[in-house]
Structure 1
Amino acid sequence: MNDSSRGAPPGTGYWGAPEQQPAPGPAYDGIEAADDHRTAQTRRMPPVPDAEGGKPGESPVPGPRAKTTDKSKKQAGRNLRAAIGVGLGLGVVILASLFVVKSLFVVVVAAAVVVGLWELTSRLEERKQIKVPLVPLAVGGTAMVVAGYLRDAEGAWVAMALTVLAVMVWRMTEAPENYLRDVTAGVFAAFYVPFLATFVSMMLAADDGPWRVFVFLLLTVVSDTGAYAVGWRFGRHKLAPRISPGKTREGLIGAVTFAMAAGALCMQYLIHHGSWWQGLLLGLGVAASATLGDLLESMIKRDLGIKDMGTLLPGHGGLMDRLDSLLPTAPVVWLLLVIFVGSG
């Protein structure tokens, strides 16, 4: 018996032709035989999907074989025009505040800290039911940024300690359940967002502070761009597939190469008393810290089960999605610049 005939209706062969069977008895007359013959010949075989998910004019078969179209893939991505427009707008605001009125950039950093804390605490409460008090974090975070600009590292540490104390006291006004969990998350948020951002204002406090901050921002952007360009073109080997499947080892090499080249140029021509070889080390440090920062943010978002930290910036996600590589890079750049050319 041909295995292909399995599933065919009784009384038919593989192509639907009637098989020769003995008449069951007097009830089986010529009219009924003709009816069976017509029914067998008009019965359609179920369509068999091809490798592309279905024949022309037929709906694709649901399941693993169905493929998404190019249009759906494009719709799933980010809005490129919006992303470029928002990026250019942020760049104009940053450069204008950085080089026109230096102290105005402190306001920009403080505003970014408050928005970043709002996004982070909102996602923690939505996804994990962790209630982190935002008010003491926002006030303390602003104080950290200002203290770092006016009083350097000592002021930043004092503001950090007072912020943690304020979070602990503020949380005492609510029920004691999950107190330790919420306070621990608050300490993490205070360190992760405002304290790391304080190193940007500490860089700004130097005599050539605007140029130091500009180099910090430029090298971070160049590192991210190099990782994306090289990874997109040559990426084959995953860097950390469990955390961020899109990152590759080739992309990391691209980040290091681009950042070191840009660092050599920046230290030679933009930083007073800087040297090209110092720029190579600076670029290497930026590429490493920016990559780790990106992975850290991806780890947090995977734990929370979200793709973006917010929707504030069209085409980018939330503000924290743009600060992920900047925050851990700030202390690295500040420290290396102090070692190479002094605190200014």
Structure 2
Amino acid sequence: MPVVPDVPEHGGDQDVDRGPLGRAAPVPRRTDAGPTLSGEVPQNPEPMPDAPQPAPAPHKKSAGRDLGAAIGVGVGLGAVIVASLFVVKAVFVGVVAVAVVVGLWELTSRLRERKGINAPLVPLALGGAAMVVAGYVRGAEGAWVAMALTALAVLVWRMTAPPEGYLKDVTAGVFAAFYVPFLATFVAMMLTADDGAWRVLTFLLLTVVSDTGAYAVGWRFGKKKLAPRISPGKTREGLLGAVAFAMVAGALCMQYLIDDGSWWQGLLLGLAVAASATLGDLGESMIKRDLGIKDMGSLLPGHGGIMDRLDSLLPTAPVVWLLLVLFVGSG
């Protein structure tokens, strides 16, 4: 704002210079265009009030991550998953078990670092891997038994440490066992069907397409926030994009990949996947906000950690498993 010199008000008791006849001598005024009337040049002239200001540079939307690295890592992971899925099913089960163990390590590490919660990793890792295998070999019954034994192992393992913090540690441990390996067992159970590889591929494709649709539409058209207190980057327009993309992909997958599937079933499946994937993403965002972190890890350049990729997959697995059983059976 331009500097305006203080001018005495008329009739005020001001300290002014007076001429020889007792009249106030004129005070030279400074102008911004050049020297003062007394010949003095102003030192730091201010811009004129109505001078045109340069327009702000247009703001470009940013993806927020290294897209090149993210795409490269995504393609590499996809190749490993598809190769193991269609070559030897047992190898794919091993890939799921490894992902579960790494995810548990990331989650328990962040809990310890940010909240001082020491959920025992050893029984969680062993029980989590066993849970995935049990789901593949024995189905839902085996998964539930393995879950119960893992929870019991967490309770007993933690008894070897001092009692302070026991309740919060074992509570976090049981939560981690349910959140990561137990939900992942539904992927292994999908694989047991005759067309199991195609069911798992459908599950993966729909989740990825849902996330991609939400990202693409939200980045381009997103204006209305979906849940600003949890995840400020998500928009309602992005959710609509997720639903549209997933429903189209679901209709195609059910019609052409799943035995005895129909396109209308795929529409319902896509809608359910978009909802569960979005809720799963928001759920992990809630956990990360509580922990005060952006990513669960840094193992995957451009993506964060394993848990940052499993966030939408884990809660979607039981939804897809259940709907496929209802639509075309478990065989």
Tell which deviates more after alignment, 224-233 or 85-94.
224-233
TM-aligned CA deviation for residue 206 of structure 1:
1.2
- What are the Cα deviations for residues 166-213 of structure 1, in whole angstroms up to 9, with x where unaligned? 011111111101110111011110000000001000001111111000
Alignment of 1:237-248 (within 5 A): 237-248=224-235
Alignment of 1:221-236 (within 5 A): 221-236=208-223
Aligned to 2:251: 264
For residues 51 and 231 of structure 1, the distance between their equivalents in structure 2, rounded to whole angstroms, comes to: 39
TM-aligned CA deviation for residue 233 of structure 1:
2.0
TM-aligned CA deviation for residue 91 of structure 1:
0.6
Is structure 2 residue 318 aligned with structure 1 residue 327?
no
Query: What is the total number of aligned residue pairs between the two structures?
Result: 308
Alignment of 1:69-218 (within 5 A): 77-218=64-205
Assess, with a 3 A threshold, how the Cα gap between structure 1 residues 316 and 38 changes in structure 2: closer, same or farther: farther
Aligned to 1:312: 299
- What are the Cα deviations for residues 270-299 of structure 1, in whole angstroms up to 9, with x where unaligned? 000111111111111101100000000110
Assess, with a 3 A threshold, how the Cα gap between structure 1 residues 125 and 40 changes in structure 2: closer, same or farther: farther
Assess, with a 3 A threshold, how the Cα gap between structure 1 residues 4 and 159 changes in structure 2: closer, same or farther: same
- SS class of match (2:41): helix
For residues 108 and 46 of structure 1, the distance between their equivalents in structure 2, rounded to whole angstroms, comes to: 68
- What are the Cα deviations for residues 73-104 of structure 1, in whole angstroms up to 9, with x where unaligned? 86x93211111111110011000000011110
Of 287, 293, 296, which residue of structure 1 is paired with 2:274?
A: 287
Normalising by structure 2, we get a TM-score of 0.85
Q: Unaligned regions of 5+ residues in structure 2, if any?
A: 8-15, 20-36
Is structure 2 residue 28 aligned with structure 1 residue 41?
no
Query: Cα RMSD (Å) of the superposition?
Result: 3.0
TM-aligned CA deviation for residue 40 of structure 1:
6.3
For residues 57 and 115 of structure 2, the distance between their equivalents in structure 1, rounded to whole angstroms, comes to: 33
For residues 340 and 3 of structure 1, the distance between their equivalents in structure 2, rounded to whole angstroms, comes to: 76
Q: Check whether the contact 2:247–2:268 (CA below 8 A) recurs between aligned residues.
A: yes
Q: Check whether the contact 2:3–2:46 (CA below 8 A) recurs between aligned residues.
A: no
Following TM superposition, where does structure 1 have runs of at least 4 consecutive aligned residues deviating by more than 6 angstroms?
37-40, 67-71
Is structure 2 residue 325 aligned with structure 1 residue 338?
yes
Aligned to 2:5: 5
Give the % identical residues.
77
**Structure holding more helix per residue:** 1
Which amino acid in the other structure matches residue 322 of structure 1? Answer: R
For residues 155 and 57 of structure 2, the distance between their equivalents in structure 1, rounded to whole angstroms, comes to: 50
